[in-house]
């Protein structure tokens, strides 16, 4: 049986995370909004830079390596809003070789335990793009419920 653990990122791991997460987010934005990757990359870099204005040291943002039997297989980024006692999952990423093995499921369960027992958080939210059915299915299995929908339409003459 494999063991899934979460380990806080160090500065070097965070820099690798940063270099990968912005293009990953841009790819999702490009696909979801049907815009060029270049435009999405500018948007992703701006949004992420605004959120993480102090990098790894940005208050209330937590970054973890997801370890599978002590080997890094992905990462997790969580924000805690201390005013509302809630948390938000900004990103979970599992490397290709770890997908389909319930690693994401167990990593989120570990995050939930940490949030509840270590941080006293009582509510956990996230955003998922509609096209990402695999992720939506995972979150539903974990008990997340859809609470709103954003819809879009391209207008043509």
Query: What's the pLDDT at 24?
Result: 92
The residue to which tokens 């949004």 are assigned: 47
Instruction: Tell me the domains of the chain and their CATH numbers.
Output: 4-141 (3.40.630.30)
How far is C-alpha 9 from the geometric centre of its chain's CA atoms? 14
* pTM of the predicted model as reported, rounded to 2 decimal places: 0.87
Cα separation of 103 and 130, whole Å?
22
96-132 per-position pLDDT tens digit: 999 889 999 999 999 999 999 999 999 999 888 777 8
pLDDT per residue as tens, the chain (157 positions): 679 999 999 999 999 999 999 999 999 889 888 899 999 999 999 999 999 999 999 999 999 999 999 999 999 999 999 999 999 999 999 999 998 899 999 999 999 999 999 999 999 998 887 778 888 888 888 888 888 777 777 788 8
Do 35 and 104 form a contact (C-beta atoms < 8 A)?
no
Cα separation of 113 and 109, whole Å?
6
């Amino acid at each position: 049986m494999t063991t899934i653990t979460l380990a806080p990122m160090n500065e070097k791991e965070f820099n690798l995370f940063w270099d990968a997460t912005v293009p990953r987010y841009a790819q999702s934005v490009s696909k979801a909004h049907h815009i060029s990757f270049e435009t999405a990359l500018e948007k992703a870099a701006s949004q992420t830079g605004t959120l993480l204005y102090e990098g790894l040291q940005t208050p209330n943002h937590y970054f973890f390596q997801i370890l599978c039997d002590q080997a890094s297989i992905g990462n997790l980024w969580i924000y805690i809003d201390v005013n509302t006692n809630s948390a938000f999952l900004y990103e979970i990423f599992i490397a290709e070789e770890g997908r389909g093995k319930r690693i994401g499921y167990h990593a989120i369960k570990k995050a939930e335990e940490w949030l509840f027992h270590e941080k006293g958080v009582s509510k956990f939210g996230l955003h998922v793009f509609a096209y990402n059915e695999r992720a939506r299915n995972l979150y539903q299995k974990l008990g997340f419920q859809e609470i709103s929908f954003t819809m879009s339409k391209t207008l043509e003459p």
